[in-house]
Amino acid sequence: MERFVFFGGKGGVGKTTVSCAYAYRCADAGVKTLVVSTDPAHSVSDVFDQEFGDDPESVAGVDRLDAMEIDPEDEMQRHLQEIREGLSEQVSTAMVSEINRQLEMSHGTPGAYEAALFDAFVTVMREESDPYERVVFDTAPTGSTLRLLGLPDFLGDWIDRLLYKRKQSIDLFEKAAIGDMEPRRLMDGDPVLERLQRRKEFFEYAGDAMRNHAAFFLVLNPDQLSVNETGRAIEGFT
């Protein structure tokens, strides 16, 4: 079985119950397991009758099983704050207030929720998963999950384009240098390029992990709506 296991499906079909039962079974079989909720409903705490936060915590009475719940709103705020801090270091003071205004506007834009949540669960896969042999994700309803899982390819292409544009910009700055004047930008050590390159590596890791080290299970009820949505989800995966 792959190291990362995702359970998805229509809202209300029992994704949390199945993902927690699977995680429990893995732990009971001797596999050190982490179950992660990315669903705003946060029912993992209800299943185990124990409150969980955004750091892994041991499930009481169950050896080798930890759990954590990622809060989408908290992740959104953290995501925007990281962007704000990164950009504030690279632009003039006069631009900071405009950046803050644009970021506040972006809070409710389509895709912002998925981007923040994507960063959170890939960070779990990349940085929190080392102690575990298996990481189980209890995901949000199907539509959000499909958008989430499609982000590595989409954002990877976007980052490639940004890298190309940034290099073009630096090249023009360097060509504009006159005499002994130092160019306004240098390719080596450029903070924007470095940040973009880190993001590119982040997306490449996510894409590789989900293509080669992840399994996806769709949970459904025996009713036509669930069957139809599951069929569309399978088409989305393929």
pLDDT tens for 6-23 read 998 877 888 899 999 999
CA angle, residues 188, 194, 199, in degrees to nearest 5: 155
What does the pLDDT average to over 153-181?
71
Q: CA nearest 40: which of 99, 100, 102, 113?
A: 113
Confirm whether pTM is higher than 0.95: no
Tokens read off for 16? 């949390």
Residue 170 pLDDT > 90: no
pLDDT in tens, 120-137: 878 898 888 999 999 999
Report the pLDDT value the prediction gives residue 11, as an integer from 0 to 100. Answer: 78
Distance of alpha carbon 3 from the chain centroid: 17
pLDDT band at 47 (very low <50, low <70, confident <90, very high): very high
Q: Does the structure show a pLDDT above 80 at 149?
A: no
Compute and round to an integer the Cα radius of gyration of the chain: 21
Q: How far is CA 125 from the centre of its chain?
A: 9
C-alpha to C-alpha distance for 86 and 141, rounded to whole angstroms: 32
- Give the domain extent around 11: 4-236
List Cβ neighbours of 151 (8 Å cut-off, separation of 6 or more). Answer: 114, 115, 118, 203, 206
Query: Which segment of 72-86, 104-118, 153-167, 205-219 scores lowest on mean pLDDT?
Result: 104-118
Mean pLDDT of the chain: 79
Q: Tell me how far apart the alpha carbons of residues 202 and 122 are, in angstroms, rounded to a whole number.
A: 8
What are the Cα distances from residue 77, in Å, to 53, 98, 113, 114? 16, 18, 10, 13
Give the C-alpha separation, 34 to 23, whole Å. Answer: 7
Q: What percent of the chain has pLDDT over 70?
A: 71
Which is more confident, 110 or 140?
A: 140
CATH number, position 93:
3.40.50.300
Residue type, 57: E
Domain total in the chain: 1
